[in-house]
Structure formats: C-alpha cells, structure tokens
Amino acid sequence: MLPSAVFYQELTLLPADNHRLSNFCGQLDSHLRQIEQRLQVVIANRSNHFRVSGGEPAVKAASIVIQKLFDMTEREEITPEQVHLSLQEASIDQLLKTPVVSTPHQPLIGIKTKRGVIKGRGQNQQEYLQKILTHDINFGVGPAGTGKTFLAVACAVEALQTEMVRRIVLVRPAVEAGEKLGFLPGDMAQKVDPYLRPLYDALYEMLGFERVEKLLEKSIIEVAPLAFMRGRTLNDSFIILDEAQNTTTEQIKMFLTRVGFGSTAVITGDVTQIDLPTEKMSGLKHVLKVLKDVEGISFTYFGVSDVVRHPLVQRIVAAYDLYEQQQNTSS
C-alpha cells in the first residue's frame, strides 16, 4: 500500500543485457517482490527501464539497492540471500548517503576455502577481514549473526591451506548460557563438545566433515576449552577465542599471553550476552578498555545493521538494545 504522498523515480539499467536482467529480477520477479516488501515500495519495469513508487526515502533507498544488485550481476548470480543482505547492510538513512557507483573493478576481499570464496558482507565485515589479514591480534565485537566467528574461521582455514600457519586452535570458555548441564557422560572431549559445536559447524561447512575429522585426528585443528590454554605458547598458529564475553579478566589476559611467533589471534564476543555470575567482570569488556590504545591490535565493532541472519534477528537485536537504553535512562 502506497503512502498518500507518492514519490516516483525512474531508472534505466545498462547494459540492456537480458541474462543480467533475468539474474537481477529473479524467478517470477521474486527479487523485486522482496525489495518491495522490505521497503514498502512498488516496482514496475519494462525491459531495463524501472519505475519505483512510494515514500521518498524508501524510493531512493530502493533505487540504490536496485542499482547495486544489478552491478553485481556482471560477476555473480543473485540469490534471495544476497538481496536480503543488500537491504540490511544499512538503514534507509545510511543508504541515502551512499552514492550509486558501479565498482566492478574493485572486488571484495575474498577468503578462499575448498567450498568456495567467502566474502565479507558490508563495510564492517570487509574491514574486519582486512584487519585480520594485517594484524596479529584482532577483536570482533557485536551481536549474534554478524559473522564474527564464521569469518574468523574462514581466515583460519585459508591461512592453513596456504601454509601461513601450521595449525588452527579454536577456543571457547565452557560457560552455560543460563543453564546447568550437570554431570555429562563421556571423556573430557565429549563433555566440552556442546560448548564448541558452533566452531565445528563452521569448519564442516568450509572443509567438509571427513577433512575436518582427519585434521582433528592429526591435531592440525585443535578445539579446546579455554582452561586448557594455561601454560602453553602457540607458535605458527591461527587462534580463535569465541564467546570471549564469558571470560574473566584473568582468563583473557592468560589467553592473550599464549600468542607466540608467527601466530594470529582473533577474539570474538557479544558484550550484551554475558553468562558469567553477576559478581564477575567480563574479561572482554575489561580488555577493550585496557588495550584500546595498544599499537598492532585491531578492533572491529559490529552493530544491528551488520546482522546477516533472518530479518527478524536484526529487529530482535534492535529491540533489546532499545529496551536496555530505556532501562539505563530510567535508572
């Protein structure tokens, strides 16, 4: 349903290539319907001529997304996921500040894995990848669904495959998310597996199950709880500490001092989802203040607009942020 004050904008997508137009529009114009539904606009087209109708901010934002997606058709197949990601890379206000510029000769940073090339979505993810490639210690902080851990694992896999490191070490603090798991059966590895499952999932997606299992058997990939890091020095390794918001100040200091020569460390976490007892300070919150001015360490902060999961996840994160701001203001 169009607003009472209707604004129109017309676009001509060049070149008038039927294959690219078909790729852009999607089967039965499904990609156009996706844009319409998200931005509350109406899109009509004849060949490569498009007319967008609706509220002025939404029409301008939709026009920018349309041009951007059409530019992408020169080098890749457009999927509903890519349309979704393009729509939520920024708010409408941010989209309006972005000039419509075709950049086919400036490809995104790509991380090569055996399952294909993984690219950062949006400016923050691209900067995150760039920092990981150029810094020895990196922090990725932000809400769930922003790709912090997945992109870090992708960088680790590429570093291993190109022989820049000799092994990958994936670490998590073993803290329950508000639940008591009790006395789990099995040996130590089986007891801590539930905490480390997200890291396994990312590895399986990039390398395949059999390859990961072989690398785990040879200890080329090591997945361990944080407590197992004490007393070790990790040289020529790519080390990822996930869920770092659940470390204590002593634990994260211990972890950071494990980094040896030829190693890269990535620390990821979400300071809004701390599962530590209330009397304990989050090591991640503390270390972000302590190390903020230390040269050679990179920090990437993700926000609601960087969420790359279902659109409702972005809205849920935004709703919680707003609620917490209101609670802080009232108190």
Q: Which CATH number covers residue 161?
A: 3.40.50.300
Q: Are residues 118 and 252 in the same domain?
A: yes
Of 68, 96, 124, the position where a domain reaches its end is 96
Q: Are residues 200 and 305 in the same domain?
A: yes
Cβ–Cβ < 8 Å for 61, 7: no
pLDDT computed for residue 80 by the predictor:
82
pLDDT computed for residue 92 by the predictor:
53
pLDDT computed for residue 108 by the predictor:
55
Query: Each residue of 32-87: pLDDT tens digit?
Result: 988 888 888 899 999 999 999 988 888 988 999 999 999 999 988 998 878 877 77
pLDDT-flagged residues of the chain (< 50): 1, 90, 93, 96, 98-107, 176-181
CA distance 40 to 34: 10
Is 173 among the domain residues? yes
Q: Are residues 283 and 311 in the same domain?
A: yes
Burial of 15 (0-12, 13-18, 19+ CB in 10 A): exposed
pLDDT computed for residue 218 by the predictor:
93
Is 101 among the domain residues? no
Of 96, 128, 153, the position where a domain reaches its end is 96
Q: What is the number of residues in the chain?
A: 331
Q: Are residues 260 and 305 in the same domain?
A: yes
Q: Are residues 140 and 36 in the same domain?
A: no
Angle between helices 249-256 and 283-290 (to 10 degrees): 60
pLDDT computed for residue 299 by the predictor:
94
- In the chain, DSSP assigns E strands to 7-12, 42-46, 49-54, 110-113, 116-119, 137-141, 167-172, 221-225, 237-241, 264-269, 297-301
Q: Is the dihedral of CA 47, 80, 305, 288 positive or negative?
A: negative
Q: Is the dihedral of CA 169, 174, 179, 183 positive or negative?
A: positive
The pTM (predicted TM-score) of the whole model is: 0.66
Structural domain total, the chain? 2
* Domain containing residue 157: 110-330
Tokens of 133: 């490639």
The DSSP secondary-structure symbol of 184 reads -
Cβ–Cβ < 8 Å for 55, 7: yes
Query: Each residue of 28-46: pLDDT tens digit?
Result: 899 998 888 888 889 999 9
